[in-house]
């Protein structure tokens, strides 16, 4: 698959054997996991809270539903976030803004989460994002010979100009017919402008489409801290455990008090195209 995006594969492979082997691991304290986002688009602001589990515990992570959550910008405007205000079964653990708002490019955002008196905080800056000028598509010969999904072997090409004089970092999301889609279900795609170059001249998408499919690409700006968070994950998940490999460690984060996860402020730009024969 020819593209510049780095894929983080959140997958653990279990090898079958005659009988299960349980390692003698110390059960760590349950840690708070925070997944938060503020963007310059309406409807994209949320904070998701859960707790980590023991190594051998299976199933969904326990959700946290009783937190006091707020986001404040550097002008002092504070927005309270309410747990699952629409009482949706699939939104347990999600906190949404009590008053709808959008983030502003150039501002700093501060997250504060209070869980039974334990406070977790984070800061991030909302940087601008490059504009996607246009999109095209073409047949990927290798994918056509052995498609992952029958009939889907057209890749989308992205064209843009990287206008900012500073060092910039990006997260990309790809949609097929308005559904978030990955080549591998657990991929995350991120990069920096050094890899992209000044002109994004026909960078190919990591997923494929069939005639009639609507392809949408979203570009998110990242702070340097956000890029480091994703880059740490990439190194952690590609650690082969060899003699010269670094010991595995949690990703660096902007969250305080030992929390896992990340609070992200991003500008978003997107473009769409309908794939034809």
Tell me: the pLDDT tens digits for 161-207? Answer: 766 667 899 999 999 999 999 898 768 789 888 777 666 778 899 99
Q: How many CB atoms lie within 10 A of CB 39?
A: 21
Alpha carbons 175 and 153: distance in angstroms, whole number? 15
Specify the pTM: 0.83
Cβ within 8 Å of residue 152, ≥6 positions away: 143, 208, 209, 210, 213
pLDDT-above-90 percentage for the chain: 65
Domains of the chain: residue spans and CATH: 32-127+253-265 (2.60.40), 128-223+267-274 (2.60.40.10)
DSSP labels, the chain? ---SPEEP---------SS-----PPPPPP-EEEEEEEESSTT--EEEEEE---TT--SSPPB--S-EEEEEETTS-EEEEEESTT--GGGTTEEEESS-----TT-EEEEEEEETTEEEEEEEE------EEEEEEEE-HHHHHS-SSTT--EEEEEEEE---SS--EEEEEEEETTEEE-SSTT--EEEEHHHH-SEEEEEEEEEEE-TT-EEEEEEEEE-HHHHHHHHHHHHHHT----TTSPPP-PPP-S-STT-EEEEEEE-EEEEEEE---
Q: Whose CA is closest to 48, among 103, 91, 3?
A: 91
* Higher per-residue pLDDT: 30 or 68: 68
For residue 17, the model assigns a pLDDT of 40
Confidence bin at 241 (pLDDT 50/70/90): low
Strand 154-161 to 169-176 pairing: unpaired
Over residues 87-111, mean pLDDT: 97
Mean pLDDT of the chain: 85
Residue 242, pLDDT above cutoff 90:
no
Residue 237, pLDDT above cutoff 80:
no
For residue 243, the model assigns a pLDDT of 45
For residue 94, CA distances in Å to 83, 85, 140 come to: 6, 9, 39
Per-residue pLDDT tens digits for 103-147: 999 999 999 999 999 999 999 999 999 899 999 999 999 999 999
Alpha carbons 17 and 220: distance in angstroms, whole number? 43
Q: Whose CA is closest to 109, among 44, 31, 190?
A: 44
Buried b (16+ CB within 10 A) or exposed e, 172-193: bbbbbeeeebbbeeebbbbbbb
* Higher per-residue pLDDT: 49 or 2: 49
Confidence bin at 12 (pLDDT 50/70/90): very low
Over residues 218-225, mean pLDDT: 96
For residue 14, the model assigns a pLDDT of 32
Per-residue pLDDT tens digits for 25-54: 445 578 999 999 999 999 999 999 999 987
């Amino acid at each position: 698959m020819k593209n510049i995006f780095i894929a983080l594969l959140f997958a653990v492979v279990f090898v079958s054997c005659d009988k299960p082997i349980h390692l003698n691991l110390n059960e760590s304290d349950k840690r708070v996991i925070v997944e938060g986002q503020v963007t310059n688009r309406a409807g994209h602001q949320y904070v998701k809270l859960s707790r980590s589990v023991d190594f051998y515990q299976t199933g969904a992570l326990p959700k946290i539903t009783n937190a006091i959550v707020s986001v404040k910008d550097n002008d002092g405007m504070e927005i309270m976030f309410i747990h699952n205000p629409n009482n949706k079964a699939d939104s347990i653990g999600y906190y949404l803004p009590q008053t709808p708002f959008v983030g502003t490019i150039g501002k700093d955002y501060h997250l504060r989460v209070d869980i039974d008196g334990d406070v977790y905080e984070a800061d991030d800056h909302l940087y601008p994002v490059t504009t996607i000028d246009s999109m095209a598509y073409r047949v990927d010969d290798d994918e056509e010979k052995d498609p992952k999904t029958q009939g889907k072997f057209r890749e989308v090409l992205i064209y843009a100009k990287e206008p900012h004089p500073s060092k910039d970092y990006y997260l990309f999301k790809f949609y097929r017919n308005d559904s978030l889609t990955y080549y591998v279900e657990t991929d995350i795609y991120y990069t920096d402008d050094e890899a992209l170059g000044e002109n994004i001249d026909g960078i190919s998408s990591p997923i494929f489409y069939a005639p009639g499919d609507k392809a949408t690409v979203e570009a998110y700006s990242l702070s340097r801290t956000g890029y480091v968070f994703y880059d740490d994950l990439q190194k952690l998940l590609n650690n082969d455990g060899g003699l010269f490999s670094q010991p595995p460690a949690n990703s660096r984060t902007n969250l305080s008090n030992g929390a896992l996860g990340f609070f992200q402020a991003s500008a978003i730009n997107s473009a769409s195209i309908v794939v034809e024969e």
